[in-house]
Structure 1
Amino acid sequence: MNLILQSLSAERNAIDRIASLADVTATDISSAGRNAWRCDDVAYSESLKALIDTACYGVGIDCAWLPSAPKLGDFKLLAMDMDSTLITIECIDEIADMQGLKPQVSAITEAAMRGEIEFNESLTRRVALLKGLDAAALQRVFDERLQLSPGAENMLAAVKAAGIKTLLVSGGFTFFTDRMKAALGLDYAHSNVLEIVDGKLTGKVVGGIVNAEEKKLTIERVCAELNIAPSQAIVMGDGANDLNMMKIAGLSVAFRAKPVVRAQASVALNFVGLDGILPILA
């Protein structure tokens, strides 16, 4: 098993201490890029993984366990969730803030991302609270609050250079995904449509809801269009509604994710940026 360690700030001696838990000496650790190190052919066990995962989390180090050495060029599609993955915010929470309802909406969002509330119900409840809000609030959120997650631009530049197609698939809204697709030069985007009448949000979405199953189906549709298998896709997300699409991917990446997602992903990036996938696939 290969072990990749990454950190934004850890000293090399901290990396050596973590590696020593797997009986890997300092001379057997190779550089995997800036602030990233690789230990190959580690004698893996579930107990060792639990020990190292816990030790890493406690000192701000990301660790990835991979049974082989996949390369970026092995993949043909990068599919990303938007809110709290490609970008730092939950757009619906920030829209709600314009109504003075952010605490109420954020609480529902958090419960949904932990998998405690079914996504369709959570979205319906949250959107209903936005009824009557001036649609101009959406542009304010985009202009004033939306920021890319750390490492997003580096990651996208690398995957595009490798000829990998990009898909933004979100339980959020087309107002934001369409603008992100255009701004970042992404190939595909799919999300929910907020209903707007006379310049006001109606508290409803138009058409079907992009939930966990629809996210998975979107991956499958795009893969079919590209004539590739889902195993040739990298899928990144942070919430419970990302799990279905992550399960069919060749590499699933939990980015600063809820515990239920971290536990099921191929790789969890808790501290480094989105470009933390690059040393893993170097």
Structure 2
Amino acid sequence: MRANVLANNRPQAAVAASRCSARFPLTRRVVMRTATQPVSGATEVKPEVAHLLRSAEAVCFDVDSTFCEDESIDELAAYLGVGEQVAALTAKAMGGSVEFKEALRSRLGVMQPTREAVEAFLRDHPHRVTPGIPDLVALLRSRGQEVFLVSGGFRQIIHPLAESLGIPLSHVFANTILFDSEGRYAGFDESEFTCRSGGKPAAIRHIKDKYGYENVVMVGDGATDMEARLEGAACLFVGYGGVVVRKNIAEKADWYIMDIQQLTDVLKQQH
């Protein structure tokens, strides 16, 4: 890895990780999983998978139920009093049975979030960062591997998290809620990559073109994350089941993990 990048990033990453721990507590919550372990899939890391993980120029993370333990759209919906309706729509979207843009439109249509409500939600519900993520981000950056957040969630919620970890906002690809002049819900930005099915591979292709990367890894829990690998944008898809296990994801992932520490351990191993 590039020595100058390694030297410059390590102190900044360490400070960012400390800052994140203060602003976004690493509190585990009790979650309902579809299984305690994936029924099948590549749960043991293969040598070629480990090599790609160590040599990739960048690692892209889904945010909800991966980078963080919460599912922010569902939790914002619950805060707005429409949690059950929106959770059902989210489950369909993540299972791959509904076109993502239509699911997003339906969820926001039910929620009708105002600017004031989103700001209040952020104050009252800080992100529950997945244990091990601050250390993993610091390690990746110390190795000269860039970190990107590629999410179907909302920039208004994700940007504070990215800033706390020292991740540039230019490295965030997510959806933007639009408000009118009085702060009322006015739709969403349909030009964002991740507002539609196929958006995450499109975002990764954009990242590769912009920065000249050859190999980019995608880490996530759902069907929209797996698309990045199936469509050839990502060289490797690491499925994460630490919050919720999805059998179809476990079966198709290049590597399926239950703990973020597994990524850190592989990165620290000697080549």
TM-score scaled by structure 1?
0.71
Q: Hey, what's the Cα distance between the residues in 2 that align with 1:77 and 1:268?
A: 19
Correspondences of 1:1-282 after superposition (within 5 Å): 57=37, 63-68=43-48, 69-70=50-51, 72-131=53-112, 133-145=113-125, 146-187=127-168, 188-197=171-180, 198-202=182-186, 204-208=187-191, 210=194, 211-229=196-214, 232-247=215-230, 248=232, 249-256=234-241, 257-270=245-258, 272=259, 274-281=260-267, 282=269
- Contiguous gaps of at least 5 residues in structure 1: 1-55
Q: How many angstroms does 1:170 deviate by?
A: 0.9
> Structure 1 residue 184: deviation in Å?
1.2
CA contact (8 A) 2:154 2:174 kept: yes
**Equivalent pairs, count:** 219
Quote how far apart the aligned CAs of 1:253 are.
0.9
Q: CA deviation at 1:58?
A: 8.1
- Letter in structure 2 aligned against 1:259: K
Q: Contact (CA 8 Å) 1:96, 1:102: kept in 2 or not?
A: yes
Question: Equivalent residue of 2:51, what SS?
Answer: coil
Q: Give the letter aligned to residue 241 of structure 1.
A: T
The one-letter amino acid paired with 2:94 is: M
Distance in structure 2 (CA, Å) of the matches to 1:126 and 1:58: 29
State the shift of 1:135 in Å.
Answer: 1.9
Q: SS at 1:158's partner residue? A: helix
- 3-state SS of paired residue (1:82): coil
- SS class of match (1:63): coil
Q: Is the contact between residue 83 and residue 170 of structure 1 (CA under 8 Å) also seen in structure 2?
A: yes
1:67, distance to aligned residue in structure 2 (A): 4.4
Are the equivalent residues in 2 in contact too, given 1:81–1:236 (CA < 8 A)? yes
Aligned amino acid, residue 217 of structure 1? A
1:236 & 1:144 partners in 2: Cα distance? 28
CA contact (8 A) 1:64 1:280 kept: no
154-163 vs 204-213, which deviates more? 204-213
Q: Deviations over 1:231-280 (max 9, x none)?
A: x212111111112213332321111142221211111112x2x2321223
Gaps (5+ residues) in structure 2? 1-35
CA contact (8 A) 1:72 1:162 kept: no
1:154-197 deviations in whole A, cap 9, x for unaligned?
A: 11111011011111111111102222221111140111110112
Q: CA deviation at 1:134?
A: 3.3
CA distance in 1, matches of 2:130, 2:197: 22
Q: Deviations over 1:25-49 (max 9, x none)?
A: xxxxxxxxxxxxxxxxxxxxxxxxx
For 2:158 and 2:85, the matched residues in 1 are separated by 24
TM-score (norm: length of structure 2)? 0.74
Query: What's the CA shift for 1:224?
Result: 1.8
- 1:207 is paired with a residue of what secondary structure? coil
Asked if structure 1 preserves the Cα contact closer than 8 Å seen for 2:239 and 2:249, the reply is yes
Question: Conserved in 2, the CA contact under 8 Å of 1:170 and 1:190?
Answer: yes
The alignment-based identity, stated in percent, is: 24
What is the letter of the counterpart of residue 263 of structure 1?
E
Alpha-carbon shift at residue 72 of structure 1 (Å): 5.0
The structure that has the greater radius of gyration is 1
